[in-house]
Amino acid sequence: MTVSLNQVCYAYAPRGRPVINDLSAVAQTGRITGVIGPNAAGKSTLLRLMAGLLAPDRGSVLLGDAEAHAMDSKTRAQRLAYVPQRPRVDASFTTAEVVRLGRYAGRRRDDAINQALAECELEEDRNRIFTTLSVGEQQRVALARALAQVYGRDDAILLLDEPTSALDPRHVQRTAEILRRSAQQGRVIVAALHDLVLARRLCDDLWVLDSGRLVSSGPAAQVFEPALLLRVYGVRFSSAEGVLLPMEGGTDA
Amino acid sequence: MRSRSGGRIAALAVLLVACMLLRFLVGYRIGWPMDATVRALRLASIAAAIGVGANLAISGVMLQSLLRNALASPYILGLAAGAALGVGAVQLLGPRLDAVAWLTQPVAAAAGSLLALLLVYRLSLRRGFIDPMTMLLVGVMISVIASALLMLIQFLMGPNADQLLRWMMGRIAPETPWSILAVCGLAAAAGLALGLRWSAALDAAALSDDEAASVGVNLPALRLSMFAIAGVLTAVAVLVAGPIGFVGLIAPHAARLVIGPAHSGLLVGAAVLGASLLLAADSAVQILPHIPWSPLQRGLLPVGILTSAIGGPVFICLLRRHGGWSS
């Protein structure tokens, strides 16, 4: 199942500034697509549109051949899981109970919950109260909840908004492995990322957003052009040894 | 986990039975009532307290989940103030206008609370959906406006406002007709059944709005349903006993501490605790005049005063401890 965006426009207020502007792209099955761009480029809004949480003002977002926002909420949840940048739980649920909430739309399966906890290395934390966890641990719980949600579905779609922003290097590596394995199973993975090093190493395809417009897309090697990054981020990058680092004094003020 | 919460609910049920027994044994005289009429009146009081307490507690659980705020209670929607305004309007205008003279006090209370419910609902809509924060603020404002109008009515009624003032204090009346008690009991049972049917959605709604929607919860439908059920349950409770404060706030909190946050157990636990709490308060009201130094020899203290006197400090403690959501 692919996710297709066709000339999508979206603004939060009627006649307001478009946050997503005439964007067309396709996220392919079995590939990891990274969405990169500076702050306020529209990355999170794009993911929410893809998740069917927002309805586009113009254009369409299709999951396979169905309009994402018009789908029955349970049917959509069985095909697609979304992980926000800042997961939140307004109750004293434990880690395992939060992961179980991912099974709301499907059958209650303990094996789905146990496997998701194991994959995210949360087995020892399963009885800890979610709100007492660190931000990084909460991000891992949100990922486990999403994995439990699409358990057993190799054609599922995983949308992740900055899934590694609060993780230590070991768990960044672990998350990357999980996403790679999910893609190999045939899932569609789309992740908004600020870490360009991770984006280059992890993603098969990249979408570069700037002010709501898709300014470049394609394989990582093709997209990581110093001129494009300078134009989008206003910073000069060095790509020595495959690692992208902003160059000293490289701000393009 | 399920068996553990089952055991705790059973323990709460034992507490409820103990409170029922206590209320049956206390009244004008303390002890087993020999007179059949007295027994019938005490049974009616027990039924009223159970129905009202359960209605308020179930309503409180739903509103706290709906509004994402542990300090929310049924009266946050302005329903009690609306009901009091309805009763006040009828008492003020009844003797002067034939058009409202036929309205009885319970009908006026129900009409006032349902009018407040509709107003809060209409004003809370944003882009066609209920916005929790807007609803909280609108509810508070409706309460303030209704309270101001009520004060005006009291001013205009002068010395005749005594009956209205007494009604506003909340009372479990033993002379409540069994037909009204049946409506109250049925409302509590239906509210509990509907809450349990939606319990998994209420659990998932503890996630952020985006996450809840992404796991499959139809949030607009859930919020509208919970709002309507909570509003009707509160209106029925006000109809039976007048405005009784804090049961709908305290019972969900206590149940959350005993049972945990999962709504399948929480709703049942809160209903049992709400009923027990009101039975205990009504029993205390019966016992107080028997204390030798009590100033309440000549009449019973309205139970609403007792629940507010206890609930107010508990509310402040919760506010200082949590400031918002709590376990």
Least confident window among A30-34, A211-215, B82-86: B82-86
Mean pLDDT of B194-220: 95
The count of structural domains within chain B is 1
Nearest CA in chain B to A132: B327
**Cβ <8 Å between B261 and A91:** yes
With a pLDDT cut of 90, the percent of chain B lying above it is 40
pLDDT at B118 over 90: no
Band of pLDDT at residue B18, cut at 50, 70 and 90: very high
Distance CA A101, CA A149 (A): 8
Domain carrying residue A213: 3-251
The count of structural domains within chain A is 1
Tell me if B81 is assigned to some domain. Answer: no
For A:166-225, CB contacts with B below 8 A are none
Give the distance from CA A212 to its chain's centroid. Answer: 17
Q: In what side-by-side order are the strands of the sheet with A66-67?
A: A20-27, A3-10, A58-63, A66-67
pLDDT at A68 over 80: yes
Mean pLDDT of A130-159: 96
Residue A90: which of B206, B210, B260 has the nearest Cβ? B206
Q: What is the pLDDT of residue A244?
A: 65
Band of pLDDT at residue A237, cut at 50, 70 and 90: confident
Distance CA B33, CA B130 (A): 50
List the one residue out of B267, B192, B191, B272 whose CA is nearest residue B235. B191
Residue B215: which of A48, A86, A101 has the nearest Cβ? A101
Say which residues have a Cβ less than 8 Å from residue A236's Cβ, sequence separation at least 6: A226, A229, A230, A246, A247, A250, A251, A252
Tell me if B64 is assigned to some domain. Answer: yes
pLDDT at B126 over 80: no
Write the CATH number for A72: 3.40.50.300
Quick check: B237 and B211 in contact, CB under 8 A? no
Give B325 or A219, the one with higher predicted confidence: A219
- CA A62, A68, A74, A77 dihedral sign is positive
Fill in the amino acid letter for A220: A
Write the CATH number for B231: 1.10.3470.10
Band of pLDDT at residue A253, cut at 50, 70 and 90: very low
Mean pLDDT of A125-132: 96
Residue B72: CB atoms within 10 A of its CB come to 24
Distance CA A124, CA A137 (A): 12
Say if residue A170 is exposed, middle or buried (CB neighbours under 10 Å; 0-12, 13-18, 19+): exposed
Q: What is the pLDDT of residue A185?
A: 94
Enclosing H/E stretch for A23: strand A20-27
Distance CA B320, CA A243 (A): 50
Question: pLDDT tens, B245-290?
Answer: 789 988 998 899 899 999 999 999 999 999 999 999 999 988 888 8
- Give the closest-approach CA distance of A237 to chain B in angstroms: 35
**A24 — contact with chain B (CB < 8 Å)?**
no
**Cβ <8 Å between A53 and B256:** no
Residue B210: which of A76, A84, A89 has the nearest Cβ? A84
Q: What is the pLDDT of residue B160?
A: 80
Mean pLDDT of A167-177: 95
Residue A148: CB atoms within 10 A of its CB come to 28
Q: Which residues of A touch B136 (CB under 8 A)?
A: none
Domain carrying residue B230: 2-74+172-322
Give strand pairing partners of A80: A157
Distance CA B175, CA B165 (A): 19
Alpha helices in chain B (DSSP H): 2-25, 36-67, 79-93, 98-101, 105-124, 132-157, 162-168, 178-197, 199-204, 209-214, 219-241, 247-259, 263-287, 303-322
Q: Which residues of B touch A80 (CB under 8 A)?
A: 214
Tell me if B132 is assigned to some domain. Answer: no
Residue B237: CB atoms within 10 A of its CB come to 35
Q: Which residues of A touch B325 (CB under 8 A)?
A: 90-91
Alpha helices in chain A (DSSP H): 43-50, 73-79, 95-101, 110-119, 135-149, 169-184, 196-202, 220-223, 226-233
With a pLDDT cut of 70, the percent of chain B lying above it is 91
Tell me if B285 is assigned to some domain. Answer: yes
Q: What is the pLDDT of residue B327?
A: 41
Whether this model's ipTM surpasses 0.90 comes out as yes
Tell me if B140 is assigned to some domain. Answer: no
Tell me if B158 is assigned to some domain. Answer: no
Q: Look at the pTM and tell me if it is higher than 0.90.
A: no
Nearest CA in chain B to A54: B210
DSSP track, B171-225: ---TT--HHHHHHHHHHHHHHHHHHHHTHHHHHHTTB-HHHHHHTT--HHHHHHH
Tell me if B107 is assigned to some domain. Answer: no
Structure tokens at A251: 């701000």
What is the average pLDDT value for chain A, to the nearest integer?
92
Give the side-chain half-sphere CA count within 13 A for B65: 36
Q: Which residues of B touch A142 (CB under 8 A)?
A: 211
Distance CA A55, CA A53 (A): 7
Tell me if B161 is assigned to some domain. Answer: no
Q: Which residues of B touch A81 (CB under 8 A)?
A: 214-215
Q: Which residues of A touch B215 (CB under 8 A)?
A: 77, 81, 101-102, 104-105, 145, 149
Backbone Cα Rg of chain A: 18
